[in-house]
Every structure is written in structure tokens, then in C-alpha cells.
Chains A and B, each alone.
Chain A
Amino acid sequence: MEKFTTHTGRAVPLRRSNVDTDQIIPAHWLKKVTRTGFEDGLFEAWRKDDGFVLNQPQYAGASILVAGPEFGTGSSREHAVWALENYGFRAVISSRFADIFRGNSLKNGLLTVILPQETVERIWALVEADPTAEITVDLEAREVRAEGVTASFDLDENVRWRLLNGLDDISITLQQESEIAAFESERPAFKPRTQPVG
């Protein structure tokens, strides 16, 4: 996983709630068997509209998405995270994220930051008035900073440590091999197994 320590960039205001993962990356893109090449599928349907915020030239090259509540609902597709990253986003700010999307993002080094809706509104106002405004998402200080905005955010300490160091979850878990083996040896015989029944 790519490390995340601190990131400064311009932001895109996405004034929509309930942005589901079908909007972030439509299902027909899910036929790809790679983790890359999803950037053109990001918000594909909405990007057909010239007025959509990602099509506005003043937001080209922005790397932080600031969205309405309930971002990432629906399908568990991790492709949604890959599409945001492939497009160039490093962080998403919202007042509420769907659980699976948030878990996926933090396993890929895409920082999802939860801020109160009123702070989201202030950032929206700021970057709509001045699209060149820079936002800093500082994971070390657990803080988002922009002109007139200093907001701290919570993140589970263990998740933060993994992100700051770019650690691979599987390698960490495999260090617990003896505990996994011990648990396996105690499992009841009635638990299901998938081998074909003869």
C-alpha cells in the first residue's frame, strides 16, 4: 500500500449526497481484471454532462474530492477506490462514508476524512469561490487545513499507523500464524467444508 502522511492539493466540490459506487464506477467497468485503467470510468455517466463539476476546467488536476453525506454506498466494488486513485485523487472528504467503501479506501492509501457537514459546507464555499485554493490533509496531525478552516478528524490509531507506514495488512496478519493455527485446531467438527460431497 502507498503511504499517506500529508497531502496538499486543490479540491473538487461534489454537492451530492448518497453517491453510490455504481455512480463512482459503473458495473460494465468491473469486467477488467486489473487494478489500473479505471480513470475514464470514474463518474462516467455524470461526466457526459459538460456542466458536471469534474468537467469544469478550473478543477482540472485537483486531488481532493469533497462530497456530500453517505459517500460510497452500495456495492462493495473496490474498483470505486481504484477509479478515484487512477484519476488522481489522494483523499475524499465527507461527513459520512459507507462502511465497505471506507474500509476499501483505507486499504489502498486513499484517505477518507470524516468532517462535520458544516465544515464540508465551508470547504465547498471556499473552493467554489476560489478553485485555486489549496487544502492540506495532514494525517500525522489528523487535521485538514485550508484558508479559514482548521478541522481535526478522527481515525482509528491502528489504521493511521498502517497508512503512515504503508504497511501491508496480510504480512502483519501472517505474523500471527501460530494463533491462527491454534484457532483452527480447536474448530468444531460440525463446521461446514466446501469439498464436494461424494
Chain B
Amino acid sequence: MAKNSNKTEENRNKFINDIKQGKVWGSYDIAFNTVNLLKDVIVNGDWQTAQELMVLITAEGRKLTRSLPMQASVGNMVRRVLKIIREEYVATQQNKQEDVDAQESLHKIVTSEGDVVDDYSKLLPDLRSSIMEHIGEFEMELETSADNIAQQARQHIHSNEIIMTLGKSASVEAFLKKAATERKFEVIVAECAPFCRGHELAVSLGKSKIETTVIADSAIFAIMSRVNKVIIGTHTVMANGGLRAVCGSHIVALAAKHYSVPVIVLAPMYKLSPQYLCSYDQDAFNSFVSPEGVLKYSDGAILSKVHVYNPVFDYVPPELVTLFISNTGGHAPSYVYRLLSELYHPDDHDL
């Protein structure tokens, strides 16, 4: 047993280091690897009942989220797995599939006949296999999510439209390429300085024969009047339907609002986080990286005289978002709370 737990710890540390060093990159890979780590805990961990397993997973999740506070998808995956365990426990125990709605509701308050608190402590022999099976299905969902989003491209991109996007998002790239197989349209890519990942996207789209124009971030507003639609990706969808997205997204969203251009955000379900933005100084909301891209170290003398910041994220309030497209379809920002209550158990919001 001790050997197993050592191995789990080793895996976890490797995963954390890989993310910190940028070896594992992109929220899909992060989500996928998190699920694998948790699977390891379920298979090799020392547990008898669902309750013990949930304690193990929560502890593992806490270690991960403490070390990687910026990667919301890690926490999201931990919550999803916990929810799966809860569902499977109830299903195996009652030997039937039943929808367990754990969300507090006024209806429950007024009609309840006293609380029946289930502490998940019953011994269930088939639990391990049924949880693993369910997680298998969930992994399938993860794998196909990008594709599912891309499948909806046809409904949103029409012929001869001008689409604006910003930086590089894997979902947006797949979405645009899928649409290009059937329709002809034009894409304007804001480069998203200082990382300029927009250049990479432009090259990739160009190779797929999509008419692409790269613009500087400062030209976003000037160009917006000609744009029909803004399609962007995001890092996290917050609980109120706001976005934590790459820096510059707020500018795009505000310019779009000014010209009444619809803003479509591609967000697979694993990006939905039960987090709220309480204040802009909030811990773990933004991260500041090396300012090298803003002001080169070779600029010498001036460096000691000025402050240089290079934040990674922007908060985009929900009223600037028109539509979310997830692997399960399109949703308005005001509907995000509902999706959250379906995805996660309320007790798991704080790990």
C-alpha cells in the first residue's frame, strides 16, 4: 500500500511540475491528466466505502488545487469525479438509476420530512468497478468535447461573414476549420501581444485556406465595426457566467458591445467553475508572468525606473457575452448556474 501511495505522490508531483514548467499545456490536457491521477487514487487507494474514497479524492484535489490555483479545470475535474462517486454510490445502493438532485431548493425546504443524511458509508462491493465504468464514460465525453463543439460550427458561421477572434484557442481553431469545410468566410485575428499567439493561429488558418488577417490589439476597436461575429475561447467560465480569459478579451468584448456584435464563447463543460469573482485583488484570479515580452531586458537603464506588468487574464462580465457553446449545445450566460448545479454537488464547491 505504501508503495502505491508513494507512486501516486510521485505522479502528482510530476504533473504539478509539468504544468508549472509549461510542459503540459492547454486545459484539455490538464483536465485529462487530472482525471488520470484521480483514477489512480481510485484504483490503488486504500478505501472501503464511498465516504473513505471521497475523503481521499478531496485530499488529493486539495493538494492539486493548492499547488495549481490558476488551473480551474483541475478543481473542476476533482468535483466531477466526486459527483460521479456520489451518483454511483446512490445508484449501486438502490440498484437503480435515479436522479439525485442534491441542490438545495425552496421546494425541498417546504416539503421535506426531515433530513435524511446519507453519509456514504455503506459497504458496496461493486462500487469500484461501477465508478471506473462511469469515469470511463466521462473520459469519453472529455475526448469528444472539442469535436462536439466544432460540429456546431455550421449553425453559427454563415457564408461571407467576418469573424474576429483573439490569440489562439484550440477550440476556436477547430471550430473555424470545421466551418471552413463548408463555407467561405473571413477571419480577423487580434495578435494578443505580448505572447502573440494570434500569429500561430493565423498561420494555421491560412494553411487551411481560410482568408485570415492579423491585426494589432490596438486596432480591435477600429476593425470591430466591420465584424459580424466575435468567437473566442476562454480559460474558465465563472459561476455567474463571466469569463476568465486571455488578457485582451475584455477589450474585444467591450468593442463588440459598442457595435452590438454578438460574442460567442467556446467553452467545453470542464471549464465551468463554481468560482465567483469577489474582487479584482482576489487570490488566484490573475497571474502575472515575466514582463520580458512587454519590455525587453536588453532595454537596460529604463528597466529600473519603471514598473512593468504582464498579467495573463482578463475578467469579462457576463453581460458582455452573448452565447456559450459547450459540447452539449448553446447556453446563455444566465443559464450557467443551472449547468453548474447539474455538474457538481454543492458540498464539493469548496475543496
Q: Specify whether A and B are partners.
A: no
Interface residues of B (CB under 8 A from A): none
